[in-house]
Homo-oligomer: A and B are copies of this chain.
Amino acid sequence: MQNFSVKEARQESAIGVAATVSGWIRTRRDSKGGFSFLEVNDGSCLGNLQVVAPAELTNYESEVRHLTAGCSVRVVGQIVASGGAGQATELRAEAITIYGGADPETYPLQKKRHTLEKLREWAHLRPRTNAIGAVMRVRNRVCRSIHDFFQEDGFLYIQTPIITASDCEGAGEMFRVTTLDADKPARTPAGEVDFAQDFFGKRTHLTVSGQLEGEVYASALGKIYTFGPTFRAENSHTSRHLAEFWMVEPEAAFYELPDNIDLAQAFLKRIVGDVLRDCQEDLALFTERIDADLMPRLEKLVADDFVRLPYTEAITRLTDSGESFEYPVTWGSDLQAEHERFLTEKQFGAPVVLYDYPASIKPFYMYVNEPDTAGRLTVRAMDVLVPGVGEIIGGSQREHRLEVLERRMAEQSLDPAEYWWYTDLRRYGSVPHSGFGLGLERMVQYVTGMANIRDVIPFPRTPLSAEF
């Protein structure tokens, strides 16, 4: 007797096997012929296994005939070929054990389909729905591809710290981490909060990016990537922002900007290609219910080379487009979502990599180019824009020349003493290097078509909401 998942039991190769399958009832249908059909799901795939429960089961009248959506069962039987449409196999039950009931009067997940908004209130039950289950299987496949892609290419997985004392990047508002008493914190004789008595002996926060620490390891081990949670204490209530989200950040020594763009392109194609190959059943659900254009969009991403466009040329194209934008297009200002979407959706209809942005709108750590013929200064930043989502990857070649880095820090009024270890990387054996960041949840939104980022993470964290 083998334990089979529903996924395994649904395959033709399982026909003839005596198996035990455990899972949750989705529906029960009683036949006039004196037996019942049970649709059983165990999360291993979207589809259910049809269980045929004959009246001869000892608990048929007492239990099986009363099974409702959400009840948990263990079925022992024979896997046989199915005559039903849309399924290769079914399980002829010889014994059914009921583990747990689900009172239809109170169990929230009845046949009626709930809105995604409503399901967020039941984050502990929503993975039992088709839609959220499918999202989480795809999310898992994306995570697996992330690791496989980098591991196969010799990148080492490095865990950079979550709790940090440096406000390094200034990438956003930060959460404070503390063990000081909230009501009566330790105070200095002068009456100020005495962070020397906090757990780490100083103010600490949750990280907004592992990049700077990642550069430490790239400057020693060559190619590394981080993949972990990052945080923004920003009061954003949009469908694209979370206070806690997962980010993958590769960093590679001896990579210059074109290598970095090559890496980003190969990376995105790999993820999407794996999802297309391995998640067909789940993608079909998203196509039917969420985003009818999903498949052509994903297939196009895998097929086409990404357009590579310097920022300066993008400005020209936007200016010459004749489009009327809400925000003006001028060299030196950041592109708005409307501009990015015009480029990737209308102008090219393909993923676009913008690079060489004005130095004045980018952080201190990006590599500074020679001034252009008009005397304008750019840095080797890159953003990958994709149709439907906009920016999905941001990265850069890093400034590895100590004197340029220190000048940029001074221009941005950063305290060199806070960055002593970061500048040390340029003091000793400095090398050209590059990296980028991809937000996992944005990527999952892209490959599922889910409109709200709260629906692609198990337990979303947003302002005023940290349930479960």
Q: Name A100's contact: one of B71, B136, B223, B400 (CB within 8 Å).
A: B400
Q: Which of A139-147, A328-336, A364-372, A404-412 contacts B (4 or more CB under 8 A)?
A: A139-147
Partner of A465, one of B136, B147, B200, B457: B200
The interface residues of chain B lying within 8 Å CB-to-CB of A177 are 175-177, 206
* Residues on the B chain within 8 Å of A107, using CB: 428
Whether the pair A154, B5 counts as a contact (CB closer than 8 A) is yes
| A337 lies within 8 A of chain B by Cβ | no
Write the nearest CB–CB distance from A454 to chain B, whole angstroms. 12
> What per-residue 1/0 map shows which CB atoms of A172-199 lie under 8 Å from chain B?
0101111110110100000011010001
Query: In this assembly, does A159 line the interface, its C-beta being within 8 Å of a C-beta of chain B?
Result: yes
Chain B residue numbers with a CB within 8 Å of A162 are 162, 206, 229, 231, 244
Chain B's closest residue to A22 (CB) is B254
Whether the Cβ atoms of A161 and B468 lie closer than 8 Å is yes
The chain B residue sitting closest to A430, CB to CB, is: B100
A425 CB within 8 Å of chain B: yes
> Do A179 and B183 have beta carbons less than 8 Å apart?
no
User: If the complex has contacts A156-B136, A163-B175, A253-B42, are A424 and B125 also in contact, measured as CB distance less than 8 A?
Assistant: yes
Q: Is A213 an interface residue (CB 8 A)?
A: yes
**Among B176, B182, B246, which residue has its beta carbon within 8 angstroms of that of A193?**
B182
With the chains together, A44 CA to B218 CA distance in Å? 11
A209 within 8 A of B: no
Cβ contacts under 8 Å, A217 to chain B: 127, 136, 458
Which of B71, B173, B176, B429 interacts with A70 by CB under 8 Å? B429
CB pair A199 B175 closer than 8 Å: yes
Q: Indicate the size class of the contact surface on chain A.
A: 35 or more
Nearest to A21 among chain B residues (CB) is: B254
* Contacting residues, chain B, for A171 (C-beta < 8 A): none
Q: Is the CB of A176 within 8 A of B173?
A: no
- Please measure, in the bound complex, the distance between the C-alpha atom of A120 and the C-alpha atom of B204, giving whole angstroms: 19
The verdict on A421 contacting B124 (CB below 8 Å), with A147-B144, A466-B204 known, is yes
B222 touches A161 (CB 8 A): no
Whether A165 contacts B466 by the Cβ 8 Å rule is yes
Complex partner residue of A161 from B102, B156, B461, CB under 8 angstroms? B461
Knowing A424-B125, A431-B22 are in contact, say whether A461-B5 is a contact too (CB < 8 A).
no
Distance between Cα atoms of A5 and B184 in the complex (Å): 56
Q: Are B175 and A179 in contact (CB under 8 A)?
A: yes
A457 and B159 contact, CB distance less than 8 A: yes
- What is the distance, in angstroms, from A447's C-beta to the closest C-beta of chain B? 15
Say yes or no: is A228 at the interface (Cβ < 8 Å to chain B): yes
Bound Cα distance from A429 to B124, whole angstroms: 13
Which residue on chain B has the smallest CB distance to residue A214?
B458
5 additional A-B pairs beyond A161-B461, A165-B466, beta carbons within 8 Å, are A42-B222, A99-B429, A163-B243, A182-B185, A200-B463
Q: Pick 27 A–B contacts, CB within 8 A, sort by A.
A: A3-B254, A5-B222, A42-B221, A72-B429, A74-B254, A99-B430, A100-B430, A101-B428, A101-B429, A123-B216, A124-B421, A124-B424, A125-B220, A128-B219, A137-B156, A144-B147, A159-B229, A163-B175, A163-B206, A163-B244, A165-B467, A175-B177, A178-B178, A183-B192, A200-B465, A201-B466, A217-B458
